[in-house]
Structure 1
Amino acid sequence: MATLKLSAIDDDKPVRITVDLPAGLHRDLVAYGEAMGRAAEGGSVAPQKLIVPMLQRFIASDRGFASARRDRR
């Protein structure tokens, strides 16, 4: 089985926003959640639970953003 970039999803107090996703991206999120469920030998993860950790991982790995953030401080 493939190694996924996301692991466990933290349960944190959310801030509600509304986002419109393309249907293809939603299908990919559903498939990713199913893959996480198979990797953890549990049920699938709901697509809305994947968005935050994916964005966090993306921002944490963006060197250009980290550099701009350091320069701003």
Structure 2
Amino acid sequence: MTLKLGPIADDKPVKLSIDVPADVYRDLTAYADAHAAETGQASQGPAKLIVPMLAQFMADDRAFAKVRRTG
């Protein structure tokens, strides 16, 4: 299996608090476990996945890229 999310960088975070539905949290936890198994990194839990997932989502969104380019 090849997950879309690569290794997670260790950089200084900015504090952000969000509420997610329980089913989304369970899925994030399962993804965190799969990610840890695939990359060989220790599981960092679901909270560490949110930023890389959002960054990947925005990087892949062509409409968003067009909006950023046009101002």
Give the TM-score of the pair, scaled to structure 1.
0.89
**After TM superposition, where is structure 1 displaced by more than 6 Å over at least 4 residues in a row?**
none
Aligned to 1:59: 58
- How many residue pairs match? The answer is 71
In structure 1, the gaps of 5 or more residues are none
Bigger radius of gyration: 1
Matches for 1:9-24 after TM superposition, within 5 Å: 9-24=8-23
Cα RMSD of the aligned pairs, angstroms, is: 1.1
- Against the structure 1 CA distance between its residues 34 and 69, is the aligned structure 2 distance closer, same or farther, given a 3 Å change threshold? same
% of aligned pairs identical? 51
Compare relative contact order (CA 8 Å, sep 6+) and give the higher one, 1 or 2: 2
Aligned to 2:31: 32
In structure 2, the gaps of 5 or more residues are none
